[in-house]
Amino acid sequence: MHNIITIVGARPQFIKAATLSRQFIKYGINEKIIHTGQHFDANMSEVFFEEMDIPTPAYNLNINGVTHGAMTGKMLEGIEKILLQEQPDGVLVFGDTNSTLAGSLAASKLCIPVIHVEAGLRSFNMAMPEEINRILTDRISNLLFCPTDTAVQNLKREGFDSYQVQIVKNGDVMQDAALYYAQKAQEKSRIISQLGLTDFVLATIHRQENTDDPVKLQAIISGLNNINKMVQVVVPLHPRTRNILQQMNIKPSFTIIEPVGYFDMIMLLKHCKLVVTDSGGVQKEAFFFGKHCITLREQTEWIELVEHGFNRIVGTNTDLLQEAFQYFSSKQSDFAVDLYGNGRAAEVAVAEIIKN
């Protein structure tokens, strides 16, 4: 494959895609990026692309702000037109968004090979739209790049050994990104000094299953308020969640800040003492920067973090959250173990793409 179309729809996917784009350039592969516009992000200006060394998208579909079905349908239509025009050798998708599913569907119906990075991940929770997206994308992909042994085993249990597909464990491209951008973040971010942070816990809340459920949201806020009595809790919070808190008259006592860019997030992760999150990506990033993590979900795709003692799953149970906080407050761990490829995931993936 020498002509690749990469499909992305959210800022984290651009960061993942950039790790492969750098390798594509190195190996002389022609890549064009389609941005579906799934997550409108005001921070994604020209400066964002320059600072992050990310190629500017060749196409922007500007599809957002509609229901899951309408969004996926519009993306499918828009991507199909571009693929018919470009005739690529392969279509590359990441993760589990609507953009991922639409891109893989459009390509597979045109008999264009689909390359899925972050294949094989499972939460085993079919109430999550992301779970549906990742399962369907895996099934219609030709080249499946799995970040972990667990992901490979998930595919084998689902019978992928009997399909005409190629399964490759390449590692996690987010570790590539974290290592690549860590030095840039050190040079560019001022968030730690600007906020005067010293000893603090970093928390993020964004999943709709938590933010849209009054009981769960109240429990999370209460748990973080309790931790905040012992150590400062800092939460970059989306305006939508802030509005929900106001509407429900839920009163946080911890420090709320505006959503942050990737460099600022890296610095918060590097300097915090512990992470509390409902984000899949942040669970891994905590590990990349040597921090324990408490996960505000009932399950995780990254079970190796739990098995190695770096992560605890507490759901929205305030007692379990408090217990995990106390446990990690004194725990020492060796974060040197290689769980995600040690920064070579994109290199392994592109070397394999070239062979196809």
Quote the longest CA-to-CA distance of the chain. Answer: 59
Q: Taking a C-beta distance cutoff of 8 angstroms, is the pair 171, 341 a contact?
A: yes
**Bridge-partner residues for 143, per DSSP?**
115, 166
**Bridge-partner residues for 60, per DSSP?**
35
Could you give the 3-state DSSP secondary structure of residue 95? coil
Could you give the CA distance from residue 48 to residue 262 in angstroms, rounded to a whole number?
Answer: 10
Give the DSSP per-residue string, 108-142: HHTT--EEEETTT-----TTSHHHHHHHHHHHT-S
Could you give the CA distance from residue 224 to residue 218 in angstroms, rounded to a whole number?
Answer: 10
Neighbours of 166 (CB within 10 A): 16
Could you give the 3-state DSSP secondary structure of residue 294? strand
Neighbours of 23 (CB within 10 A): 22
Block residue for tokens 């464990």: 169
Return the beta strands (E) in 29-149 as ranges.
30-35, 59-60, 90-94, 114-117, 143-146
Q: How many C-alpha atoms does 170 have within 13 Å on its Cβ side?
A: 29
Could you give the CA distance from residue 157 to residue 115 in angstroms, rounded to a whole number?
Answer: 20
Please pick, among 2, 39, 206, 308, the residue that the annotation labels catalytic: 206
Could you give the CA distance from residue 345 to residue 352 in angstroms, rounded to a whole number?
Answer: 11
Q: Taking a C-beta distance cutoff of 8 angstroms, is the pair 33, 6 a contact?
A: yes
Which residues lie below 8 Å from residue 69, measured CB to CB, with a gap of 6+? none
Specify whether 206 is catalytic.
yes
Catalytic residue annotation: 206
